[in-house]
Amino acid sequence: MVLKNRKVAVLITIVVAVLATLFGVNRSLARLSRSIERMFYDGVYLESEKYTQPSLDSQIAKHTDATLGLATILTNYSGLHDDAEFVIALRRELLDAESIGDKSLAFWTMSRYVNSLVQATAEVGLSARDSDAVSQYSSTINGAEAFIRGAAYNQAVSKQWNEQSSIARAIGLLLPVREPEMF
């Protein structure tokens, strides 16, 4: 029988041990990646301040809700109708984005257009009621955007992922693991 040969038995044992190690490291890195990305949806715990920062996902929801309200009002103004409709379409793209990287790209693209749209309202005669609503929506949008710019999520992703030993990440290259995405 083949296993009676000591060299073959040692070789098989080594191969099984290496494969088990690779598989185990791969599973650990995948689990770490998922737990890091959960912070996008659940918030980042700030050890120094002893609280969990609100999630980026919740701030994006505030932003997109306010964007829809703003754009809906502005579709009633002929000079802003097309741009407002475009912003609504960009909002839909953001809501349909599946990965964090795709959400980031869609968010910042939409955000640029929303800011341009708000600036364009100065050139259109808004009613007093619509002007107040636009002001409130703009305040919500600016607050969510400021929070997102200063959120701890990206720093947490970098810190936790980089804390993994270089050996574990090198082994992970053999069996690719999707790294957590930055926003």
- Residue 16, domain extent: 2-42+154-174
**Residue 133 contacts by C-beta under 8 Å, 6 or more apart in sequence?**
69, 70, 73
Residue 183 falls inside a structural domain? no
Residue 158 falls inside a structural domain? yes
Pair 98, 139 in one domain: yes
Each residue's pLDDT tens digit, 20-59: 887 887 788 788 888 888 999 999 988 888 989 999 999 9
Task: Say if CB 95 and CB 48 are below 8 A apart.
Answer: no
Largest CA distance in the chain: 91
Residue 75 falls inside a structural domain? yes
Pair 135, 159 in one domain: no
Task: Say if CB 171 and CB 25 are below 8 A apart.
Answer: yes
Pair 143, 161 in one domain: no
Residue 157 confidence (pLDDT): 82
Residue 182 falls inside a structural domain? no
Pair 91, 132 in one domain: yes
Beta bridge partners of 52: 45
Give the three-state DSSP class for 51: strand
CB burial class (10 A; 0-12, 13-18, 19+) of residue 147?
Answer: middle
Pair 166, 136 in one domain: no
What's the mean pLDDT when you consider all of the chain?
A: 89
d(CA 182, CA 180): 7
Count: domains in the chain: 2
Residue 18 falls inside a structural domain? yes
Pair 135, 65 in one domain: yes
Mean pLDDT of 85-96: 98
Pair 38, 63 in one domain: no
Of 140, 138, 160, whose CA–CA distance to 40 is shortest? 160
Pair 88, 127 in one domain: yes
Mean pLDDT of 85-98: 98
Of 158, 74, 49, 59, whose CA–CA distance to 124 is shortest? 74
